[in-house]
Structure 1
Amino acid sequence: MATIHRDVLIDAAPEEVWSALRDWGAVHRRLAPGFVVGTRVRGDVRVVTFADGTVVDELIVSLDDDTRRIAYAVVGGSLDADHHHATMRVLDADAGRSRFVWTIDVRPHALAGPIAEMVDQGVSVIRRTMESGRSGAA
């Protein structure tokens, strides 16, 4: 199993970043537009379509407003993983900024490289979206 971990500063208030992240059915509009091109919700599962054509079914395991944390597991779609579990957190940083922490555990280990590349792209889009102020509810 491999672990991918990213911890980045975002020049936006934690409440704003959390608002966009917790709106888990609107990732394609509020958090990562262009990187995620579609999101559909079926009960506790969101079907996420990425710009590269990858589609994953993500079971929302936990959504915690007190800790500003979401946990999800990939339970279907085109990603050929034996195991994929991730958490995203928004923490307070200095001067009204946010720390965005994304951790993914994935198996087989061979998927770590491609998933890390996707995570880096996603983090870049999330940072740009949040810092631009374009994450308002739609």
Structure 2
Amino acid sequence: MAHIHKEFLVDSAPDNVWAAVRDVGEVHRRLAPGFVTDTRLEADIRVVTFANGVVVHELLVDIDDEARRVAYAVVGGALAPKHHHASMQVFADGEGRSRFVWITDVTPDDLAGPIAEMVDQGTRVIKQALERSATPAN
């Protein structure tokens, strides 16, 4: 099983970052606009459409407000029936700053490269979106 681990700092308070991560039906608006073009909730399944046309169905495994952690697993769409499980977690990192941790496990191992590329792209978009939303409008 391939393991992809991304960690980055966000110049925004943890509660602000968590609010965007926790809003699991608004990924395309609040967390990764442009990278994700649509998000729909169907009970405990999140249907995510990416800008590259890939559509995945994710089972929302856990939303933990105390730990500021969301966990999900791909159960249908472009990656099925392969295994893909991920979590995103937000930690405080100094005054008004957060540490964002995104961990993804995937099989088969040959999917690690393409998934890691998507995670890299997503990381850049997420950091930018979270920091932009933390900046007051002029």
**What residue in structure 2 maps to residue 127 of structure 1?**
127
Structure 2 gap segments, 5+ residues each:
none
How far the C-alpha of 1:95 sits from its partner, in A, is 2.5
How far the C-alpha of 1:94 sits from its partner, in A, is 1.5
RMSD of equivalent CA atoms: 1.3
**What residue in structure 1 maps to residue 54 of structure 2?**
54
Q: TM-score, normalised by structure 2?
A: 0.95
Secondary structure of residue in 2 paired with 1:48 = strand
Identity of aligned residues (%): 61
**What residue in structure 1 maps to residue 70 of structure 2?**
70
Secondary structure of residue in 2 paired with 1:52 = coil
Is contact 2:74-2:80 (8 Å) kept?
A: no
How far the C-alpha of 1:2 sits from its partner, in A, is 0.2
Q: For residue 94 of structure 1, what is the amino acid of its counterpart?
A: G
Q: For residue 56 of structure 1, what is the amino acid of its counterpart?
A: V
Q: For residue 58 of structure 1, what is the amino acid of its counterpart?
A: E
In 2, distance between residues paired with 1:49 and 1:82?
18
1:103-122 alignment, distance < 5 Å: 103-122=103-122
In 1, distance between residues paired with 2:81 and 2:121?
20
> What count of residue pairs does the alignment treat as equivalent?
135
Is contact 2:12-2:134 (8 Å) kept?
A: no
How far the C-alpha of 1:78 sits from its partner, in A, is 1.2
How far the C-alpha of 1:81 sits from its partner, in A, is 5.1
Is contact 2:13-2:97 (8 Å) kept?
A: yes
Q: Stretches of 4+ moved more than 4 A in 1?
A: none
Is contact 1:39-1:47 (8 Å) kept?
A: yes
Is contact 1:18-1:90 (8 Å) kept?
A: yes
Structure 1 gap segments, 5+ residues each:
none
How far the C-alpha of 1:82 sits from its partner, in A, is 1.7
Structure 1 range deviating more: 51-60 or 125-134: 125-134
Is contact 1:11-1:96 (8 Å) kept?
A: yes
**What residue in structure 1 maps to residue 82 of structure 2?**
82
Q: TM-score, normalised by structure 1?
A: 0.95
In 1, distance between residues paired with 2:131 and 2:43?
31
